[in-house]
Chains A and B, each alone.
Chain A
Amino acid sequence: MTTVPIIELRNLRKQYVSVHAVRGIDLQIRKGETLTIMGPNGSGKTTMLRIMAGLDTPTTGEIRFNGTKIGDNNRKQIRNQATMVFQKTTLFNTTIHKNIAYGLKIRGFRKKEIHQRVNSVLNAVKLEGYAKRQAKKLSGGEQQRVALARALALNTPLLLLDEPTANLDPETVSIIEETIRYINRQNKTTIIVATHNIFQAQTITERAALLLQGRMVETGTVEEIFRRPSLTLASFARLKNVFTGNSRLLSEGTSLVDIGNGIHIETATPKTGRVATYVRPEDIILSRRPIKSSARNVFKGQITEITDQEPIVRLKINVGKEFLVQITKRSFKEMNLNLGTTVYLAFKASSVHAI
């Protein structure tokens, strides 16, 4: 017996005046599944989430919730079953307790139950004892955690998160990601996350979909998408230094990836088999002399291309494979670099993302 998807989009299209926000979207999401919708700004991620949250209506196409077609007469039903956390943190101008209790009061919960739930979700987002504080006096990261807690308190079967960690500090990002994973595991909540951060997809969800200019260009498990990174994925994410190869574990717990031409990259991620690796150009250190440092990856090569993008300079360096390196214009001048100059580049194993 096949189970009915919790939410299903059929040939969905949303048009604002003459602009197509999304079009031709077909998507099924199973109960308890976690899905990341990846895409650059303006690709239609938020529009999709808003339609799934029952906040917007599609121009054409169908949306089904637990098999029931959603229309104007039953859109309120979807709003009771799905909660959305917006990219821009929005809080009511009152205490944290009242913020979180809002949806529970509307649903007619008793005071005692509301109190218990508020405390429970505040614990989940690591804001114990904050209930009586004024919500708008918190830091940006704390406010976003309150927004997440407010949605979690309702324990709806579907949770929609729009860029939940954009512009937040690493500690808050880690708390939010951990909470998302916990809620999915504990309550079997179906979670859909829209993000332009492709690394978040592999951290918090099983399945990913890539949205470009309102069209869904790729869907699959996170591994499927990342192990064979398509040009579209790499270009949207502006991924540079993408190399694929076979990985084996080293005794230190790190992995060594053979990316071809005799080049091996060490990554702190323990992985075996076929993997894709990425190194951010700004994480690579450049030197004219051999580098003695803690960096596990050191290569010698020649500069093959120089692009001046004041105040930074991007260099292509051939070490057997071509790496893109980004340095400041000042460093570039001080090092007296030219095409063909022999240089050494180094990066830490922890700077290598392996998927």
Chain B
Amino acid sequence: MSEILEITLRTIHISATATLLATLWSIPIGSLIALKNFPTKQLIKSIFNALMGMPTVALGLILYLLLSSSGPLGSVNILFTPLAIIIGQALLITPILISLTTNALETIDPEIKDLARTLGASETETSLTILAEAKAGVVLALIASFTRAFAELGVALSVGANLRGGTRILTTAIAMEVQRGQIQHSLTLTAILLTIVFATTITTNLIQTRRRT
């Protein structure tokens, strides 16, 4: 297996796992923010919106300090492993996933909630119904989060260190090739990165359009 293929597959694996991991908490949190009324709702929404623009190097540095052997989580011993990148990317995309899920759910007609309830749905069934109604928006949130994770550099470099055969992914490989002056090689990697980003988005759009017709 060529090294480029190996790096590409590792990148997809890490970012997809990070997206799935972030989904576990982000969709429930996004649903709670959208569907419940509480006093600090607007404040919390603003905080997550602001965190969407979190610089990846800043998050990478914080995670590095936490996970390094002298840091508070040093004993976990995951620094410079794919798991560290997965966790880092999951944290990076959490605000995006939460904010976009909240927005998607808030665009759903509020009467859908009453409709589900009057047709006999429990509170959980009602929330799942609203999520299903907001499917297009939630899928968009997932795709946006995946592509953000897939194309980020700061976290992967800080907590992954671009180790050959271990934590090297497309973006860290591109950065390395540019530093080495291997422009041809870095352009190939960039082309692969962009192709996957575009293919993911376009395929999802096509599937959604076909389902609507």
Contact = CB atoms under 8 A, between A and B. Distances in A.
Interface in A59-111: 76, 79-80, 82-84, 86, 88, 90, 92-93, 102-103, 106-107
Chain B, interface SS category: helix
Interface stretch (B33-41, B75-83, B112-120): B112-120
Contacts of A79: 117-118, 120
A154 interface: yes
A107 B119 CA distance: 9
B120 A86 contact: no
Contact of A84 (B112, B118, B122): B118
A95 B87 CA distance: 40
A90 B113 CA distance: 10
- From A80, A88, A102, A150, residue with most partner B Cβ within 10 Å: A102
A106 B121 contact: yes
Contact of A92 (B114, B118, B129): B129
A90 B119 contact: no
Interface residues of B, number: 17
Interface residues of A, number: 23
A106 B111 contact: no
B76 to A, nearest CB: 44
B133 A80 contact: no
A12 interface: no
Contacts of B119: 83, 102-103, 106, 150-151, 154
B6 interface: no
Contacts of A93: 133
A53 interface: yes
Contacts of A106: 119-121, 125
Interface in B42-83: none
A168 interface: no
Given A90-B109, A93-B133, A107 B115 contact: no
B112 A92 contact: yes
A158 B133 CA distance: 27
A80 B120 contact: yes
Contact of B117 (A55, A92, A134, A150): A55
A53 B115 CA distance: 11
7 contacts: A79-B117, A83-B118, A84-B118, A86-B111, A93-B133, A102-B119, A106-B119
Given A55-B114, A79-B120, A84-B114, 7 more contacts: A53-B118, A76-B122, A82-B118, A92-B132, A102-B129, A106-B125, A150-B119
